[in-house]
Amino acid sequence: MNKKLQALVGAGAMAWSAMAMSAAQAADTIKVGVLHSLSGTMAISETTLKDTVLMLVDDLNKNGGLLGKQVEAVVVDPASDWPLFAEKARELIEKDQVSVVFGCWTSVSRKSVLPVFEELNSMLFYPVQYEGEESSRNVFYTGAAPNQQAIPAVDYLMSEDGGSAERIVLLGTDYVYPRTTNKILRSYLNGKGISDEDIMENYTPFGHSDWQSIVADVKAFASAGKKTAVVSTINGDANVPFYKELANQGIKAEDIPVVAFSVGEEELAGIDTAPLVGHLAAWNYFQSVESDANTAFIEKWHAFIGDESRVTNDPMEATYIGFNMWKQAVEQAGTTDVDAVRQAMYGQKVANLTGGTAVMNTNHHLSKPVLIGEVQDDGQFDIVWETEGTVVGDAWSDFLPESAKLTADWTYPWVCGNCEKPMY
């Protein structure tokens, strides 16, 4: 063998050895993807969820890891760019070979990545409230469906305790979640006797900052002599100028209460909340919940992040529940194989942070309590109403005729996300 050939063979052997070593090292870890915007309009909400996953991975590794291996978080930044979410999801699955992904906030980002997860048969845990009307075997929806947030919230607004609202303003960011949720709410409100003329609906783009005329329109709509309330599906950093404009125009909660579905402790951290006291939010968790599990979670969060002023919020709890259910399912299946883990997910139970138990149902939605809280001047929420127990999330709304006949059940051998409900 000549020297040139020997050199080529040697180089090839070294390259093969390096690849084998890299593969062996990869086999010693279990990779999880983190797909949250760390820049752009949604960073105000999503950065904390990245930190939450990192905390959960750190805690898991300190307690022995998973299946005898350490867990590695692979973090990417889709930068509030919806097509980029799909690119980053494919990168995580194909290049980084993650076993699962925790991520997305907006429904448009989830819709963007959905074809990728289905094509590559990977698994996404989606931790934020959403509009329903979707069922994928590759997604577990750990945030609230409309029947676990939007419907109870308007019921509360129309109740005596909530102010007996007779006119409703639907304000939302212009994308699929607000529009679909409000389509469901309009149908529901019509069924409760509230006519279309008593419903005002308005949409604004992501990052919208000039709220003066819209808030003035709300005041004018509320001047008709009927008690009026606002349902807000405004997302991201647009909430900051929206709430500032409410205060600027002197809108107080006792006059026109606002219930928000995308504003929690994290979003309020950057706002002077004194003028907003009494306005509402509907979630499945608040930091102010009194339970041993919540106290322990907050302490662990503060220790990990190194800042006792950092708040917790509902999507963090949803991330916590989803991560721990995935961990349990992997342990039960004895593998990170997606098909095996999916089957092991059904019926998984995790103690939630409100003192109860979260259960994963075969429609890929959780059983969750529903809470309504009032904004306090310290940026926290005083819980003013809650369900007696947990509510099972609906993939398909009972209040849209085309959806009411559908059901989702991903257990074998049925395996269907949009079948018509069986007739008995």
21 has pLDDT over 60: no
Q: With 90 as the cut, is the pLDDT of residue 380 above it? A: yes
More confident residue, 231 or 7: 231
* Angstrom distance (rounded) from CA 184 to CA 131: 9
Helix 43-62 / helix 314-333 crossing angle, nearest 10 deg: 40
- 349 Cβ neighbours under 8 A, 6+ residues apart: 357, 358, 359, 360
Q: What is the DSSP secondary-structure string of 222-245?
A: GGGSS-EEEEEE--GGGHHHHHHH
Work out the widest C-alpha separation in the chain, in whole angstroms: 97
Q: What is the mean pLDDT of residues 82-91?
A: 98
Q: In which band, very low, low, confident or very high, does the pLDDT at 308 lie, cut at 50, 70 and 90?
A: very high
pLDDT, tens only, 382-397: 999 999 999 999 999 9
Tell me: the pLDDT tens digits for 32-74? 999 999 999 999 999 999 999 999 999 999 999 999 999 999 9
Tokens of 82: 């919806």
Strand ranges (DSSP E) for 272-394? 280-283, 349-351, 357-360, 366-368, 371-375, 381-386, 391-392
CA distance 224 to 222: 6
User: Does 275 map to a domain?
Assistant: yes
C-alpha separations of 240 from 163, 246, 272, 278, 384 in Å? 25, 10, 9, 17, 24
Over pLDDT 70: what percentage of the chain? 93
Which band of pLDDT confidence, cut at 50, 70 and 90, is reported for residue 375? very high
Give the whole-number percent of the chain exceeding pLDDT 90: 87
CATH code for the domain in which residue 241 is found: 3.40.50.2300
Note whether residue 371 is domain-resident. Answer: no
| 347 in a structural domain | no
Tokens representing 246 are 């409410």
* The token pair that represents 115 in the structure block: 């074809």
Q: What are the backbone dihedrals phi and psi of residue 232, each rounded to the nearest 5 degrees, phi first?
A: -110, 120
Q: What is the pLDDT of residue 41?
A: 92
Of 268, 200, 261, 266, which Cα lies nearest the Cα of 233? 261
pLDDT score, position 424: 41
Q: How far apart are CA 239 and CA 187, in angstroms?
A: 26
Check whether 12 has a pLDDT greater than 80.
no
CA 348 to chain centre: 19
Domain that holds residue 164: 148-283
State the pLDDT at residue 14: 45
Closest of 243, 242, 307 to residue 272, by C-alpha: 243
Mean pLDDT of 160-187: 97
**Which residues are 203's β-sheet partners?**
172
pLDDT bin (cut points 50, 70, 90) of residue 253 is very high
Number of compact structural domains in the chain: 1
Q: Which residues pair with 168 in a beta bridge?
A: 199, 229
H helices present in 159-270, as ranges: 176-191, 212-221, 239-248, 265-268
271 band by pLDDT with thresholds 50, 70 and 90: confident
What's the first-to-final CA gap in the chain, in angstroms? 79
In a domain, 206, yes or no: yes
- Give domain status of residue 42, yes or no: no
- What is the average per-residue pLDDT within 298-305? 98
Quick check: is 225 in a domain?
yes
Q: Is the pLDDT of residue 18 over 70?
A: no
Residue 423 has pLDDT above 50, yes or no: no
Q: Confirm whether 271 is domain-assigned.
A: yes
Q: Is residue 320 a part of any domain in this protein?
A: no
Q: Is the pLDDT confidence value at 4 over 50?
A: no
What's the confidence (pLDDT) of residue 24? 38
pLDDT tens profile 233-243: 999 889 989 99
How far apart, in whole angstroms, are the C-alpha atoms of residue 126 and residue 111?
Answer: 11
